């Protein structure tokens, strides 16, 4: 089973407004430093360490390709880590990366570049589930009551037992994901994640694998303090197992 991981990292991070985010003259969350390494690097390390993963493909803005390549070079990853030019949207960036994958790729995982705390066991579980069913995502059940609103007025309360907050990785058989992107392109459909594209295919069911509230997407300045805490805890666990 050949597995490729796509990390869309071409975003501008408009919700992250902090002067400490500047790396190489760029203020974007995927390049912010955590314990001396950019968030993107921490994320790549998680997937390179997974025995099921064959390669990692990072979709970047064209202007970032050269300097990010130089930034990654000292890491000396034990598996191929390729850079491709992304697009103006996440969907276009993922599709560009998808088009670059070898023809014999069987499974494709898409993961937010700014989710560096995904558990190794979760990566394995969702990949294996997608290989079995064709499509699987990571998600968690919301703990807060969810209201449906219109014009700032509550229209109803949604049943949490039937709701999931989608996380990543989102993993699919390569043929299914390619078909989903082709249909979205033909229909002019823009989705919020890869699953929303796959869900539009006939007779296609997406399985949900339990995620974790630690698998945070670093989006706002308030997330940075929590990220530092999670990283310190990871280092402690690693030192205890050595």
Domain range list for the chain: 3-241
* pLDDT higher than 50, residue 20: no
Q: Is the pLDDT of residue 23 over 70?
A: no
Question: What's the pLDDT at 184?
Answer: 98
Confidence of residue 58 (pLDDT cuts 50, 70, 90): very high
Say if residue 14's pLDDT is above 60: no
Confidence of residue 26 (pLDDT cuts 50, 70, 90): very low
Residue 76: per-residue pLDDT: 94
- Indicate whether 91 pLDDT > 60: yes
DSSP string, 158-195: E-GGG--EEEEEEEEEHHHHHHHHHHHHHHT---SSHH
φ, ψ of residue 185 in degrees (nearest 5): -65, -40
Mean pLDDT of 25-40: 84
pLDDT at 153 over 80: yes
Give the pLDDT confidence score for residue 240 in this predicted structure: 78
Q: What pLDDT sits at residue 187? A: 97
Label residue 239 by pLDDT band (50, 70, 90): confident
Query: Model confidence over 188-236: pLDDT tens digits?
Result: 999 999 999 999 999 999 999 999 999 999 998 889 999 999 999 988 8
Indicate the class that CATH gives domain 3-241. alpha beta
- Here the tokens at position 51 are 């025995």
Locate all alpha helices (DSSP H) within the chain, ordered by sequence: 39-48, 65-72, 90-99, 120-133, 174-187, 194-198, 221-241
Q: Choose the weakest-confidence range: 18-22, 42-46, 90-94.
A: 18-22
Q: What is the mean pLDDT of the chain?
A: 93
Note the pTM of the prediction, 2 decimals.
0.92
User: Tokens 């400490």 belong to which residue?
Assistant: 20
């Amino acid at each position: 089973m050949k597995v490729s991981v796509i990390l869309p990292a071409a975003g501008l991070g408009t919700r992250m407004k902090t002067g400490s985010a500047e790396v190489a003259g760029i203020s974007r969350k995927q390049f912010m430093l955590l314990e001396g390494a950019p968030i993107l690097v921490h994320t790549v390390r998680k997937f390179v360490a997974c025995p099921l993963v064959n390669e990692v493909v990072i979709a970047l803005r064209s202007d970032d390709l050269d300097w990010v390549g130089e930034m990654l070079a000292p890491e000396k990853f034990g598996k191929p880590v390729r850079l491709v030019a992304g697009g103006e949207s996440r969907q276009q960036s993922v599709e560009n990366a998808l088009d670059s994958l070898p023809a014999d790729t069987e499974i494709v995982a898409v993961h937010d570049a700014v989710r560096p705390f995904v558990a190794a066991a979760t990566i394995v579980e969702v990949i294996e589930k997608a290989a079995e069913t064709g499509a699987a995502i990571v998600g968690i059940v919301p703990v807060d009551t969810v209201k449906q609103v219109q014009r700032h007025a509550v229209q109803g309360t949604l049943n949490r037992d039937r709701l999931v907050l989608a996380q990543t990785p989102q993993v699919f058989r390569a043929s299914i994901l390619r078909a989903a992107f082709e249909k979205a392109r033909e229909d002019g459909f823009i989705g919020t994640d890869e699953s929303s594209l796959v869900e539009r295919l006939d007779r296609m069911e997406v399985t949900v694998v339990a995620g974790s509230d630690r698998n945070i997407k670093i989006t706002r300045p308030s997330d940075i303090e929590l990220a530092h805490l999670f990283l310190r805890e990871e280092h402690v666990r690693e030192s205890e197992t050595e």
